[in-house]
Structure 1
Amino acid sequence: MLPSSPAVIGAAAVVALLVLLVLVRRLRAPSSDARESKRAHDAAQEREPPVEIGETYEFGVTELTEHHSGEEVAVGKVEGFVVFTEDIPRDVGKGDVIRAKVLSFNEGRTSADATFVTKA
């Protein structure tokens, strides 16, 4: 039979509460991918972009996503710098190498918008 004194019950409640708090904190903590993304974003804000407006760059498409414009764009990186490329043909997919002309930087200059030129 388990002891049922108020002190034992109180101690068990405190232990249970601490275990619950640890579990909740682990579940709510950012993933390692999220932490790495945050570190990369912070580092990008502190450096000059490795691309220039008006220049054309060649890079691999890492993903296709919907941009704030509402259209599908190709996402890739030039020296770790994210480039969103608009006006992509339907046959461009993840893993393709493309050339794109940089049109503008986003606020903070942590990424750039570009327009598709050709498949490489």
Structure 2
Amino acid sequence: MLPSSPVVIGAAAVIALLVLLIAVRRLRAPSSEARESKRAHDAAQKREPPVAIGETYEFGVTELTDHHSGKEVAVGKVEGFVLFTQDIPRDISESDVIRAKVLSFNEGRTSADATFVTKA
């Protein structure tokens, strides 16, 4: 039979509370994917973009998404730098290789907006 003294009960309560706090902290901690994304974002803010405004680049489309403009854009990367390409034709899909002209950098210069030139 377990002892039921106030000291033992209090110690068990403290241990249970510590275990609960550790579990909650682990559940609330960012995932390894989120930590890697944050690390990549921080590193991108410290480097010069590998693209230049007005220049055309060829890259693979990694996803199609709705941009803040409300239109569908093709997303891809040039040397790890994200380009959001607008004015894409309807037949563009993920994994297509396209050429796009860089129009402007986004806040922090960690990505850029581009316009579709041609399918490669």
- Which segment is superposed worse, 1-10 or 101-110? 1-10
Match of 2:2 in 1: 2
- TM-score, normalised relative to structure 1: 0.96
Which amino acid is the alignment partner of residue 118 of structure 1? T
Distance 2:15 2:95 in 1: 51
**Cα offset, 1:2, TM superposition:** 2.4
Unaligned runs of 5+ in 2: none
Q: Matched residues in 2 for 1:72 and 1:27: separation?
A: 34
- 1:15 aligns with 15
The equivalent residue for 1:111 is 111
Displaced runs of 4 or more, over 3 A: none
1:58 aligned residue: 58
How many angstroms apart in 2 are the aligned matches of 1:98 and 1:86?
A: 12
Instruction: State the Cα distance separating 1:103 from its structure 2 match.
Output: 0.3
Shift of 1:94: 1.2
The aligned counterpart of 2:70 is: 70
1:7-37, Cα deviation, whole Å (9 max, x unpaired): 1111111111111111111111111111111
Return the letter of the residue paired with 1:53. Answer: I
Cα shift at 1:77? 0.4
Name the amino acid aligned to 2:29. A
Percent identity, aligned pairs only, is 88
When the two structures are superposed, what TM-score results if normalisation uses the length of structure 2?
0.96
Shift of 1:118: 1.1
Inter-partner Cα distance in structure 1 for 2:23 and 2:91: 46
Instruction: Quote the Cα distance in structure 1 between the aligned partners of 2:57 and 2:2.
Output: 72
Q: Distance in 1 between matches of 2:30 and 2:63?
A: 22
Equivalenced residue count is 120
RMSD: 0.9
